Amino acid sequence: DQQVKQNSPSLSVQEGRISILNCDYTNSMFDYFLWYKKYPAEGPTFLISISSIKDKNEDGRFTVFLNKSAKHLSLHIVPSQPGDSAVYFCAARPGAQKLVFGQGTRLTINP
Amino acid sequence: SAVISQKPSRDICQRGTSLTIQCQVDSQVTMMFWYRQQPGQSLTLIATANQGSEATYESGFVIDKFPISRPNLTFSTLTVSNMSPEDSSIYLCSVEDPDSTYGYTFGSGTRLTVV
């Protein structure tokens, strides 16, 4: 049972444009959502998070949107830069319980 | 954030053998977590390692296959026993990140290939 799903395994975006990565979840008990970024041969690094009491959180070029009714969250990166090329994982957890990860989306930023 | 040193970074092993992966954290932490990422898959929690008690394993993972040690608050090992090609994965340790509400800090991972 995949509780967190990233349906796009890959995404290619032109440098300077907006990258939008999507994530869907099924467990209504999830109340905290996170995005991680992973480069090859490195562990995932925390990028941005959002609590279920919010619908938007912004940090520089990165914005996460949460639509609780649709059980959907998205990560917007604008403008996209070549260094943003990586695999992005969304993750969710119910309170202090364990994190559940999606399958990841490989983002490629083209010059 | 905590800094985690994980080794080896990669290894190629013969089937039937065992590999022990080490994780060292630069601060004392209560819980350490071990994850597996199979090719093209999400990160899956194997077990939670608590100092002074047996590790807690997730469904589908057993102690005989993945024995874990946690001798102190800064160190843990995961052994992948009696390996088969299906164990080829990236194995990651992690700890909760006090600077990121409900976030984890991860080690750099161990890429294991079983031949």
pLDDT in tens, A10-38: 999 999 999 999 999 999 999 999 999 99
- What is the phi/psi pair of residue A84, to 5°? -80, -10
pLDDT confidence of residue B34: 97
Q: Please check whether residue B41 touches A, CB under 8 A.
A: yes
- Determine the residue of chain A that is closest to B97 in CA distance: A46
**Any CB–CB contact under 8 A between B38 and chain A?**
no
Contacts of A4 in chain B (CB under 8 A): 42
Per the prediction, chain A carries an average pLDDT of 94
pLDDT of residue B102: 60
A95 is written with which tokens? 């309170």
Is residue A72 within 8 A of residue A22, CB to CB? The reply is yes
Q: Half-sphere exposure of A47 toward its Cβ, with a 13 Å CA cutoff?
A: 26
How many whole angstroms separate alpha carbon A1 and alpha carbon A88? Answer: 21
pLDDT in tens, chain B (115 residues): 789 999 999 999 999 999 999 999 999 988 899 999 998 888 999 999 988 888 999 999 999 999 999 999 999 999 999 999 999 999 999 998 766 666 789 999 999 999 9
Q: Do A2 and B42 touch (CB under 8 A)?
A: yes
Of B101, B104, B109, the CB nearest to A99: B104
Which residues of chain A register pLDDT less than 70?
A: 1
Chain A closest-CA separation from residue B45 CA (Å): 8
Q: Which of B48, B94, B108 sits opposite A41 (nearest CB)?
A: B108
A-B CB pairs within 8 A amount to 57
- Specify the pLDDT at position B2: 85
Cross-chain Cβ contact A34/B103 below 8 Å? yes
Neighbours of B43 (CB within 10 A): 28
